[in-house]
Structure formats: C-alpha cells, structure tokens
Amino acid sequence: MFDAALLISELNFKAIRSSGAGGQHVNKVSSKVVLNFDLTNSQVFSEEQRALLFKNLANRLTTEGVLILQSDESRSQHKNKELVIKRFLELIRHSLKRPKKRKPTKVPRAVKLKRLSKKKQQADKKANRRPPDIN
C-alpha cells in the first residue's frame, strides 16, 4: 500500500506550548505537537493514490494541500508525537480505502404479486362497503 517509514520521514513536526491549566511548569515546556504533511509534494504515493487522498481529505487540507494535525493530550512531547503519528497513519489508511461498489438488486416477482393481491383485496373490501348502485 505505502511505506510508513518513508511517509514518516516526509512529516514536519513543531512543538508549541499547550493551552489550558497545568501550573508553573506548563509555561516553560512545549509539549503540544503539530504535524504538517505536504500532500502535494509527497513522493510516497502514486498519482492515483494522491488523487484519492485529495478527494477524501478535502475538508482537512489547506489551500496549499497541507494536512495539519495536532496533539496535546499528554504532558509529554514524545507521547504527543507518537499519538499524532498514529492518528496520521490511521487517517491515511482510512482515506486510501475504496468503498465497495453497491450491487443493485431487484424486487422479487413474488413480492410484487403479493403486494398487488393485497391491494386488490383492500379495493374489494372498500367496494363491498359501498351501497349498491340501483338504476
């Protein structure tokens, strides 16, 4: 499918200060990790795979074709980097899957006949409720 090690080598990481509560230490440590992946200039994917990724990740890409993911779940920068790489690889795998083609099915003949016979029974029932036509 694709070479994960080569793909990881194309990623750009940036560590920034995480938001939220955390005390004195949080103001000194850059534990949030931001991952940037330039899909347009990637050498890992074929043209067909790249087109599929552009289609499936359209709402997550910037106008330049860069995918940006971030993780600040952990207090550790290394853990956040592992988490964001794992999420990135899962996202790519999921985006490269082609959905199964739907096989159109027909309504069976017996079902059509049953529906028409029920319809006829209902029409007869209603017709029998009407007063007779005397002329």
Percent of the chain with pLDDT over 70: 96
pLDDT at 49 over 70: yes
Spans of all domains in the chain:
4-96
Cβ atoms of 55 and 47 within 8 Å: the answer is no
**Residue pair 118/125 in contact by the 8 Å Cβ criterion:** no
Any residues with CB less than 8 A from the CB of 4 and at least 6 apart, and which? Answer: 89
CATH C-level class of 4-96: alpha beta
Which of 18-22, 72-76, 90-94 shows the lowest per-residue confidence on average (mean pLDDT)?
18-22
The continuous run of DSSP H or E covering 70 comes out as: strand 66-71
- What is the reported pLDDT for 20? 67
Asked whether residue 14 carries a pLDDT value surpassing 70, the answer given is: yes
